Amino acid sequence: MQEYLAKLDKTLQEYLVKKAPALPKGFIEFLVAIAPWFAVLAVIMGIPAFLAVFGFSALFVPFALVAGIHSGGFWIFWLVGLAQVILAGMSIKPLFAKQKQGWQLLFYSQILSFITSLGHYDVGNLFATVISFYFLYQMKKSYFGKQTKSKKK
């Protein structure tokens, strides 16, 4: 899995940083400053939404089963969405600290968003996800550039 993620990262780095036009430095700094707040907003909005969907589905799934409708796909996408909210929540503290881990958690969340967009054939969300990847990769140096290497003893 790590091998595929490394290949994906290399490909996205090539197209979204090297070949794509660079954002102005001030705008990148602005994105880095607001990224943790977007993660907070995603958690604040995501948790009640998923609880509501879970509540509605708990009400309607028994009727769907009686009607012969299978809801396995729904639950898979519900779990993927829940994982996105969890990843966003886990990224908040590292994003405020401008740590590499925060960026990586957002990257994983965006991969899940991309998969969900493909699964739902949601072209609008797919486009928004690609734009999010562009912003994420434009900010990447801000999170990876300040890493300190441990000294050998």
Q: Is residue 4 part of a domain?
A: no
Task: Concatenate the DSSP letters of all residues of the chain into one string.
Answer: -HHHHHHHHHHHHIIIIISSPPPPHHHHHHHHHHHHHHHHHHHHHHHHHHHHHHHHHHHHHHHHHHTT---HHHHHHHHHHHHHHHHHHHHHHHHHTT-HHHHHHHHHHHHHHHHHHHHHT-HHHHHHHHHHHHHHHHHHHHHHTTPPPPPP-
Residue 16 lies in a domain: no
What's the pTM? 0.78
Classify residue 153: in a domain, yes or no.
no
Q: Print the domain residue range for 127.
A: 23-143
**Rounded to 5 degrees, what angle do the CA atoms 54, 55, 58 make?**
85
Residue 30 in any domain: the answer is yes
Residue 76 forms part of a structural domain: yes
**Residue at 1 is within a domain:** no
Residue 62 lies in a domain: yes
Number of domains in the chain: 1
Tens of each residue's pLDDT in the chain, 153 residues: 889 999 999 999 999 999 999 999 999 999 999 999 999 998 998 887 777 766 666 666 666 666 666 656 667 777 888 899 999 999 999 999 999 999 999 999 999 988 888 877 778 888 998 999 999 999 999 998 754 444 444
